[in-house]
Structure 1
Amino acid sequence: MADTYEKLIEDSIEIAAPTDKVWSLVTDIPAMSRRSPQVVKSTVKGGVVKLGASFSNLNKQGIKRWPTGGKVVRFQPPTATTPGDFAFRIKENRTVWSFELEPTADGGTRLTERRETPDGVSGLSMVLTKIVLGGQDGFTDELRRGIRQTLERIKAEAETPA
């Protein structure tokens, strides 16, 4: 059987905080290392997170470390009538990571994190995942757990009184 990848990985969480507070957390790329178990450090070129902004990451799995570069491809803050949508594309593997923020009836936020592969995954990434990161199945399971951890950490931070 071929080592294949899942085209979509996603999870959602309900957060007892308004969408503008959650938006400020998910768009804070430099702080993602506190929330994502795979991110060691992120640095935004020019320091401002906006549509088209580029950033660099240092990622980890156990003792392994590798750099990636990202670019913000969607930056739509939430409004009273539209959900918020923040997404970035990772250059090396072509994946798109996104956060969708929907206001809930009780004044909170439903936050969904996704990893999508609209253009497939690069061949180099497929090979490295198979050889270095334990294969697609194991790495996908790790990403799925990481998304859940990231959502739970954002929830905890958003629900903590200022």
Structure 2
Amino acid sequence: MADTYEKLLEDTIEISAPAEQVWSLVTDIPAMAKWSPQVVKSSVKGGVVKQGATFSNLNKQGLKRWPTGGKVVRFQPPTATTPGEFAFRIRENRTVWSFELEPTADGRTRLTERRETPEGISGVSMLLTKVVLGGQKPFTAELRRGIRQTLERIKAEAEAGA
């Protein structure tokens, strides 16, 4: 049986902070290691996060470590009345990770994190996930837990600064 993957992973959280404040957190790629349990370190080439910016990550699972590279593919800051979106594509596996920020009428933010696979997942990544990272099903469960943990950590930081 083929090791299949889920095309979309997503979760949403409500944050008691304005969307502009949450935007400053989710677009801070070097700070992502504070929120994502899979990220050890990230650095942006040129230091500025914007449309087209590239960056490198060091990821982890237990004692395992692996590098990835990303490129910002959507960079639309929110306004008081319109959603914002920040998305990046990971070179090695072709997945697109995104944060959508929806301002609410009461000044809060609805934050959704997604992992999408518009071009599928690369064969090399499928093989490495199967052989090194425990297979698609357990790795996907780990990613789902990581998305939730990332959202909860961003919420805590945003609300502490609100």
Q: TM-score, normalised by structure 2?
A: 0.99
Distance 1:113 1:51 in 2: 18
- Runs of 5+ consecutive residues of structure 2 not aligned to the other structure: none
Q: Which residue of 2 aligns with 1:142?
A: 142
1:161 pairs with 2:161 = yes
Per-residue CA deviations over 1:17-54 (Å, capped at 9, x if unaligned) read 00000000000000000000000000000000000000
Q: Which residue of 2 aligns with 1:109?
A: 109
One-letter identity of the residue aligned with 1:149: Q
Query: Any residues of structure 2 matched to 1:59-78 within 5 Å, and which?
Result: 59-78=59-78
One-letter identity of the residue aligned with 2:19: T
Runs of 4+ residues over 3 Å off in structure 1? none
Q: Which residue of 1 aligns with 2:32?
A: 32
Query: Any residues of structure 2 matched to 1:20-99 within 5 Å, and which?
Result: 20-99=20-99
**What's the CA shift for 1:79?**
1.3
Per-residue CA deviations over 1:107-134 (Å, capped at 9, x if unaligned) read 0000000000000000000000000000
Is the contact between residue 19 and residue 80 of structure 2 (CA under 8 Å) also seen in structure 1? Answer: no
**What's the CA shift for 1:161?**
3.3
Distance 1:124 1:108 in 2: 41
**What's the CA shift for 1:80?**
2.7
Identity %: 84
Q: TM-score, normalised by structure 1?
A: 0.99
SS in 1 for 2:113: strand
- Runs of 5+ consecutive residues of structure 1 not aligned to the other structure: none
